[in-house]
Amino acid sequence: MSILFNKFEVRIRLAAIRANYRLLCGHGGRVIGVIKADAYGHGLCEVARALAQEGCDTFAIGSVEEGVALRQFLRQEGITARVIALLGPVDAEDYAPLWEHEIIPFVGSFRQLETLAGQAARMGKALPVSLKFDTGMARLGFTGADVPRLLERLREAPLVRPVMASSHLATADDPGAVEFVLEQGRRFEDIVSALAQGGYPVEANLANSAGILAHKKLHHQSQRGGIALYGANPFAGTSWEHLGKGLAQAMEVRTKIVSVHPLKKGQSISYGATYRAERDMTVAIVAAGYADAYSRGLSGKGAQMLIGGRRVPQIGRVCMQLCACDVSEVPDARPGDWAVLLGGEGPLAISADELASWWGTISYEVFCLLGMNRRVFI
């Protein structure tokens, strides 16, 4: 694979993640650190350790396999923390590790519940679980209407121990969708009270990063913070942008310049000859391409990089391991110099949302994809 054998350096500022965690904790309640997908590309183990140092005692990962990897790391480090698997068990192989590695699965279907109950009974060992409810995402979870039958089945399966109830907000980052958020909040409240009345007074959590920052009323005993930990503003480009103030982006991505040479007026550059020089210019060929997760979709979208402390435009099609920039304004650019694709120093730093807007995606995907390159922790 080209990734990991390229000139990329993904620099992760763990101090920024720790500060972002403290900022989220300042909004009240327990903050569960969402570190699924390799901590959104920031490094599962390193981020877990940094958050644990800030007092984080509960981590949410995606698959059970990720949970196993995290638990092995936590044991090695002597860190005691709860590990929650947001996807829950997907296939037969996912069940036994829940007990062996003390993973709390999200359980959102009767099928999962029956399988867990059967396994618990065979082993004679209880398992703490988080009950997952669908209040508007229509993705995973029991619905409010399932609650009576759920309570019945839980009573028949005493080794399946609900310790938590969760649901996920679909529109918490959208100032124009408050009504939808509040409706999800009401549905979740009803479910949590029904569980309590049914004898299951569990720790509830609903809010994601945007919910933590914008919807205090939807806070419960705990919240699940993801993207804000990594310093992207969930409200970027909206009228609520100020609510993400103080978050610090933890990821910076840079790579090397391979060549610097002139491009004469009228000459085209890269595949398809889609870009033609309107004046004599100087171009830098940079070691970044779609094989490094610097998407070909960025071609011709006005994307920028930082070279020699200046913003320079990417030009022509992005190739597999190369792309071009106009460095006419950076006379001292040389092969071997750094080109910054994400982050950087000072007011010219490229935010994940800015890169995402050129890319036609969101900060989450920018982090997950670029984060697959070689990382350095600073």
Ligand X SMILES: *Cc1c(COP(=O)(O)O)cnc(C)c1O
- Binding residues vs ligand X (CB under 6 A): 34, 36, 86, 168, 208-210, 224-227
Of 287, 221, 227, residue with least CA distance to 9: 287
Q: Which is nearer to ligand X, 42 or 224 (CB)?
A: 224
CA–CA distance, 62 with 43 (Å, rounded to integer): 14
Distance CA 166, CA 220 (A): 10
Q: How far is the CB of 246 from ligand X (least distance, A)?
A: 16
Distance CA 256, CA 321 (A): 11
Looking at the Cβ atoms of 209 and 357, the one nearer to ligand X is: 209
Q: Cβ 209 to ligand X, closest distance in Å?
A: 3
Residue nearest to ligand X (CB): 226
Q: CB 21 → ligand X: shortest distance, Å?
A: 12
CA distances for 278 relative to 263, 268, 323, 329, 333, angstroms? 10, 10, 19, 15, 21
Angle at 306 between CA 301 and CA 307, to 5 degrees: 120
DSSP for 131-164 reads: EEE-SS--SSSB-GGGHHHHHHHHHH-TTEEEEE
Residues annotated as catalytic are 36, 271
DSSP state at residue 351: P
168 vs 254, which CB is nearer to ligand X? 168
Instruction: Give the nearest distance from C-beta 228 to ligand X in angstroms.
Output: 6
DSSP alpha helices (H): ranges in the chain? 14-25, 36-41, 44-53, 64-77, 96-100, 110-123, 147-156, 178-197, 209-214, 352-359, 363-370
Q: Give the residue among 266, 251, 317 at the shortest CA–CA distance from 288.
A: 317
Q: Which is nearer to ligand X, 34 or 47 (CB)?
A: 34
Shortest CB 62 distance to ligand X, Å: 7
Cβ distance to ligand X smaller for residue 136 or 344? 136
